[in-house]
Amino acid sequence: MTQKTAYTMLMASLPPHPMSLWDVKYKPVTRLRLERQLKLLSEQDSQQLAAIESILHWAKMQEAISDAEIATEAERVIKSINNPLLQEAIIWRLELRIIVTAIRRRKLNRPPPTKQEHWGYGQVLPLIRNNWQLDDFGLSHRFPWVAKAQDLFVKNESMELEKLLLNLSWQHYEQIGQTHYFDFEAVVLYVLRWDIVNRWSQCDEQMAMLQFEALVNRGLGDFLQTA
Amino acid sequence: MNDFIIILGWIGLFAPMALAAIGSVIGCAIAGQAAIGAMLDTDSGYGKYLGLSAMPSSQVIFGIVLMFTLQRTVTVEVAPGLFAIGILSGVSLLFSAIYQGQCCASAIHASKAKPEIFGLSVAPAAIVEGFSVFTFIFALVLSGSLPQSVA
């Protein structure tokens, strides 16, 4: 009982995420405030959350780390977590990434990974290797979005692909968190969804900066030419 | 053997009050934590959050009334009845208070984001309250059939 409602105050103090990722106009809470609220976590839970974020959040990964090192670290983190739901959440995201990596790798005309190559984590690795020639790597029954992702990749629609992948993760976290409201699982899923919102809002920010730069250049065009 | 039955009678006599109090403690604590959390994220409506968080305290009142209703000279004849009614009503009140606390916490969490649903969000907690009222009423009815004292 205590465990089920251990973080009632913490969860109640956080503004809820919107129903749809595309409804997000701004982040529900700043990272600074989120970090302040997360101080209510126990030491052990806080470390687990940091470990989960370190393997799922690109910005928190060390630079110049190889695929093999990422896979080894992911395996270590998954083994250290004694919570099936959180393990499932991590594995799902890692498998999503490994499928996208495979699509990208194939587009670059690189050969399929060998059996010895340690290039990711998940049960999909042997399936991808064995079905390299198939469009969907034979994964459509389990991951119905693979064909669409492949199509977007071929058409070079990177923005649409990014939207698809972010939305998949968003919906998956929402789905698996439906029976968790005030426990550690709810906190972790909240933070992982916050990371998605953050990433999406940064996408918009970058686009806005590019548009702003283009406008400035257009406005200054004549002056720049005469200068 | 008779002493053991008498002890059971005394346990049954105090059970509704004690178990309901435990339930109310847990329920109010859960809802109270949610209320405090909501206060950190909002600028108004503190009173309604606190009021809602006190909702699971009704079970302990039911428990007190039941205890006084069951109170009589504990004899071998009445002790089994006291034990059965007391323990079962106590357990029922205990769980209803805990789960009502969780309903209240969810109501606070939901109405914080959408204040217009405050009334509706309280409905599940009110339904849980209804079940504890059933326990209370029927325990009262059954306690009336227990003899006051047997010489």
Using only the alpha carbons of chain B, give its radius of gyration: 18
How does pLDDT run across A97-115, given as a tens digit for each residue? Answer: 999 989 988 888 888 888 8
**What integer is the mean pLDDT of B28-34?**
95
Whole-angstrom distance, CA of residue B111 vs CA of residue A210: 39
Q: Is domain B2-143 classified as CATH 1.20.120.610?
A: yes
Whole-angstrom distance, CA of residue A185 vs CA of residue A5: 11
Q: Which residues in chain A are contacts of B35 at CB distance < 8 A?
A: 12
**What integer is the mean pLDDT of A150-159?**
88
pTM of the model: 0.80
Q: Reply yes or no on whether the pLDDT at A222 is more than 70.
A: no
> Dihedral, CA atoms, A75, A76, A81, A82, nearest 10 degrees?
80
Percentage of chain A beyond pLDDT 90 is 38
**How far away is chain B from the Cα of A32, in angstroms, using its nearest Cα?**
14
Whole-angstrom distance, CA of residue A76 vs CA of residue A66: 15
- Whether residue B74 contacts residue B13, with contact meaning beta carbons closer than 8 Å, is answered with yes
For A57, phi then psi, to 5°, come to -100, 115
**In this predicted structure, what is the pLDDT of residue A213?**
81
Q: Look at B98 and A181 and tell me if their CB atoms are within 8 Å.
A: no
**In this predicted structure, what is the pLDDT of residue A6?**
78
Q: Reply yes or no on whether the pLDDT at A138 is more than 70.
A: yes
How does pLDDT run across B2-26, given as a tens digit for each residue? Answer: 899 999 999 999 999 999 999 999 9
The chain B residues in contact with chain A (CB within 8 A) are: 26, 30, 33-38, 40-41, 98, 102, 105-106, 108-109, 112-113
**In this predicted structure, what is the pLDDT of residue A116?**
80
Long-range pairs, A64-71, Cβ under 8 A, ≥24: A67/A101, A67/A118, A67/A119, A67/A120, A68/A117, A68/A118, A68/A119, A70/A120, A71/A118, A71/A119, A71/A120, A71/A121
B105 vs A220 pLDDT, higher one = B105
What average pLDDT does chain A have? 85
Whole-angstrom distance, CA of residue A129 vs CA of residue B73: 80
**How far away is chain A from the Cα of B129, in angstroms, using its nearest Cα?**
20
**In this predicted structure, what is the pLDDT of residue B41?**
87
**In this predicted structure, what is the pLDDT of residue A1?**
47
Hey, how many other C-beta atoms are within 10 angstroms of the C-beta on A204? Answer: 12
Q: Look at B37 and A10 and tell me if their CB atoms are within 8 Å.
A: yes
Percentage of chain B beyond pLDDT 90 is 85
A187 vs A56 pLDDT, higher one = A187
What average pLDDT does chain B have? 93
Domain boundaries, chain B: 2-143
Which one of B22, B26, B36, B41 would you mutate to disrupt binding with A, by most A Cβ within 10 Å of its Cβ? Answer: B41
Q: Reply yes or no on whether the pLDDT at A74 is more than 90.
A: no
How confident is residue B148, by pLDDT bands cut at 50, 70 and 90? confident
The closest of B96, B50, A104, A222 to A113, measured between CA atoms, is A104
**In this predicted structure, what is the pLDDT of residue A62?**
61
Percentage of chain A beyond pLDDT 70 is 90
A149 to chain B, any CB pair closer than 8 A? The answer is no
- Neighbour-count burial of A206, counting CB atoms closer than 10 A to its CB (0-12 exposed, 13-18 middle, 19+ buried): exposed
- Whether residue A49 contacts residue A38, with contact meaning beta carbons closer than 8 Å, is answered with yes
Size of interface A-B (CB pairs under 8 A): 51
A70 to chain B, any CB pair closer than 8 A? The answer is no
A10 to chain B, any CB pair closer than 8 A? The answer is yes
How does pLDDT run across B88-131, given as a tens digit for each residue? Answer: 999 999 999 999 999 999 999 999 888 899 999 999 999 999 99
How does pLDDT run across B54-72, given as a tens digit for each residue? Answer: 999 999 999 999 999 999 9
Domain boundaries, chain A: 42-201
**In this predicted structure, what is the pLDDT of residue A205?**
61
How confident is residue A134, by pLDDT bands cut at 50, 70 and 90? confident
Two tokens, residue B110: 């939901």
Structure ipTM: 0.75
Percentage of chain B beyond pLDDT 70 is 98
DSSP code at position A128: H
